[in-house]
């Protein structure tokens, strides 16, 4: 009964998706910190294997997130070429 009342409330504003906004104040960009998450996973600690790509201007790869991780040996040219290959195969 509790699950049903939470999943199907009488008033939509009682759904979790709306109530959580009150807690975060609507600033969703502050919820996820890429560097903290990669560090938590232990990825950044091994710089010989992985590199963090700063795509905060979205010029390198327009549809990728602000920061993402790729193998350390990859060059910027390889990253962009990989994106272009993926883009060719996307159905819009």
Give the chain as a 3 state SS string: CHHHHHHCCCCHHHCHHHHHHHHHCCCHHHCCCHHHHHHHCCCCCCCCCEEEEECCCCCCCCCCCCEEEEECCCCHHHHHHHHHHHHHCCCC
Number of other CB atoms surrounding residue 78 within 10 Å = 12
Given a cut of 90, is residue 40 above it in pLDDT?
A: no
Listed by start position, the domains of the chain span 1-31, 34-92
Q: And the tokens for 30? A: 């502050």
**Residue bearing the bigger pLDDT, 70 or 46:** 70
Q: What is the pLDDT of residue 9?
A: 80
Segment 60-69 shows an average pLDDT of 85
Which residues are CB-neighbours of 24 under 8 A, at least 6 positions away? 30, 31
pLDDT, tens digit, 9 for 90 and up, residues 2-33: 778 777 888 887 777 777 665 665 566 667 78
């Amino acid at each position: 009964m509790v699950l049903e009342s939470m999943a199907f409330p009488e008033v939509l504003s009682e759904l979790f998706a709306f109530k959580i906004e009150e807690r975060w104040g609507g600033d969703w960009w502050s919820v996820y910190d890429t560097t903290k998450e990669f560090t938590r996973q232990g990825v950044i600690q091994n710089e010989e294997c992985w590199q963090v790509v700063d795509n905060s201007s979205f010029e390198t790869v327009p549809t990728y997130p602000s920061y993402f991780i790729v193998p350390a040996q990859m060059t910027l040219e390889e990253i962009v070429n990989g994106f272009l290959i993926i883009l060719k195969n996307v159905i819009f």
